């Protein structure tokens, strides 16, 4: 059974309040998203599997631990791209796959336009990155693609989630652990998260 971790971290809340502000410009939005994703990366990587490793310090030998495998980061294009660099900052040898999904503005359903994943994804921990979990359609579809390529150990990391989206991922993928910066109130009639921050991809890339 999967676990859902909601960070509820005061520094994250502070930065997220600035990120949400409609007057925050593209430069500050990028920087804040980077900083928030860094805080989430610490939590997501806390339980990555490790194996024993012998090491000799200047004083003695000891048994330490190293990661069993370097994980694969899979950002959901476009907005997920903003979370890649902060994760690579703390796991610089991670591999990176990409999944391109865009919500149809009328149906709100995700449509795939790109998918490139490492061949050995089945032997690695996979961390799916997307700042927004709204209806859960994009996240769930991305996890479907990754599972079809053989991945077995998948985590999903987002910054803001709607309760509806969390329930969809839990129902469709009960084996996937979910990490959420903050849980917002609901979705509006256009399937946007309320209070949310608007369209994350547009704000990150200045395409408003």
Residues that bind ligand PRP in the complex, under the rule CB under 6 A = 76-79, 101-103, 108, 110, 130-139, 165, 191, 199-202
Catalytic residue among 107, 120, 144, 207: 107
Cα 82 → chain centroid:
10
The nearer residue to ligand URA, 7 or 132, going by C-beta atoms, is 132
CB closer to ligand PRP out of 46 and 105: 105
Residue of 25, 120, 175, 202 with catalytic role:
202
Burial of 23 (0-12, 13-18, 19+ CB in 10 A): exposed
Query: 123-162: which residues touch ligand URA (CB under 6 A)?
Result: 132, 134
Burial status of residue 26 (CB atoms within 10 A of its CB: 0-12, 13-18, 19 or more): middle
Q: Are strands 193-194 and 186-187 parallel, antiparallel or unpaired?
A: antiparallel
Short-list 129, 43, 50, CA closest to 85: 129
When the beta carbons of 127 and 160 are compared against ligand URA, the nearer one is 160
Which is the catalytic residue, given 30, 103, 155, 203?
A: 103
DSSP alpha helices (H): ranges in 21-59?
26-44
Do residues 159 and 40 lie in contact, with contact meaning Cβ atoms separated by under 8 Å? yes
Q: Is 135 a catalytic residue?
A: no
Stretch that binds ligand URA, among 17-25, 66-74, 81-89, 194-202 (CB under 6 A): 194-202
Query: Maximum CA pair distance of the chain?
Result: 65
192 contributes a contact to ligand URA by CB under 6 A: yes
Q: Which is nearer to ligand PRP, 41 or 200 (CB)?
A: 200
C-alpha span between 146 and 93 (Å, rounded): 20
- Residue 76 interaction partner, one of ligand URA, ligand PRP, none, beta carbon < 5-8 Å per kind: ligand PRP
What is the contact surface with ligand URA in residues (CB under 6 A)?
79, 132, 134, 192-193, 196, 199-201
């Amino acid at each position: 059974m999967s676990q859902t971790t909601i960070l509820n971290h005061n520094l994250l809340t502070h930065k997220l309040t600035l990120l949400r502000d409609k007057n925050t410009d593209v430069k500050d939005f990028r920087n804040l998203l980077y900083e928030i994703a860094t805080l989430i990366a610490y939590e997501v990587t806390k339980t990555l599997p490790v194996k024993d490793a012998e090491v000799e310090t200047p004083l003695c030998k000891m048994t330490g631990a190293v990661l069993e495998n370097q994980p694969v980061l899979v950002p959901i294009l476009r907005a997920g791209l903003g979370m890649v660099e902060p994760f690579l900052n703390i796991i610089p040898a991670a591999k990176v796959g990409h999944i391109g999904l865009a919500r149809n503005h009328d149906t709100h359903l995700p449509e795939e336009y790109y998918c490139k994943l490492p061949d050995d994804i089945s032997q690695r921990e996979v961390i799916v990155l997307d700042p927004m979990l709204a209806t859960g359609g994009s996240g769930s579809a991305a996890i479907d693609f990754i599972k079809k390529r053989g991945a077995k150990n998948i985590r999903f990391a987002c910054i803001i989630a709607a309760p509806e989206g969390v329930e969809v991922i839990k129902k469709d993928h009960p084996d996937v652990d979910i990490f959420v910066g903050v849980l917002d109130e609901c979705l509006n009639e256009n399937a946007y998260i309320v209070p949310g921050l608007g369209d994350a991809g547009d704000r990150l890339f200045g395409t408003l």
